Copies of this chain bind each other. A is one copy, B any other.
Amino acid sequence: MSKAATTRLMILQKAFELIYANGYQATSIDDIITNTAVTKGAFFYHFPNKDEMGLAMINEVMYPGMHAAMVLPLINATNPILEIYKMMKGLLIENPHFIVKYGCPAINLIEEMSPLNSTFNKALSKLANQWQEAIELTIRNGKAAGKVRKDVNATQTAFFIMSGYGGIRNLGKLYGKDCYGVYLKELKRYLASLQ
């Protein structure tokens, strides 16, 4: 990787880190550059403004991360109920990149920025769509394989599962990680009811 590309990536990764912990608007460009070996000149050489950096961060840092944690575990699922549960448990309990009190980076950014900036909204919708489609497909395949009841609505179920995730990330900020376990137990019950 060229030195310039390294600088650019350093900016995006540190921005992600700070924005994850403090929010997008509360993270200043000065915050980012004082936490890296990057100067303001370099920042504005690589990005025309803060929002363009934010979009690059969504597409180049968050998208790959969410794909690995949320979509890949579902690909080629043979037992959809189990696979969806494992994906969720992996996300909530086993993923070392997430800190309970800071929630989920994607949920945080949706919460903060999607009402304020339609370009952010679009970029974040793409993330959510990928996940929704992966869950939906898993359920449809499960129905075809006879592992999920025929009267289950895949779209409805996907939205319901995604909602649970966003909400428990929110509650986790209030109560800490204990509520993740409580949630997962009931998720298991719910998923079983689809069989």
Contacts and interface: CB of A to CB of B under 8 A. Distances in A.
Total identical chains: 2
Q: Is the interface of A mostly helix, strand, loop or mixed?
A: helix
Contacts of A116: 22-23, 26
A85 interface: no
Interface in A116-161: 116, 121, 124-125, 128, 153, 155-157, 159-160
Nearest to A20: B115
Contacts of A121: 173-174
Interface stretch (A1-9, A65-73, A104-112): A104-112
Interface in A139-195: 153, 155-157, 159-160, 162-171, 173-175, 179, 182-183, 185-187, 189-190, 193
Q: Which of A107, A153, A165, A173 has the most CB of B within 10 A?
A: A173
A62 interface: no
Contacts of A193: 190, 193
B164 A160 contact: yes
A113 to B, nearest CB: 9
A115 B102 CA distance: 6
Nearest to A166: B167
Contact of A186 (B25, B112, B160, B166): B160
> 3 tightest CB-CB pairs across the interface, nearest first?
A166-B167, A163-B167, A167-B167
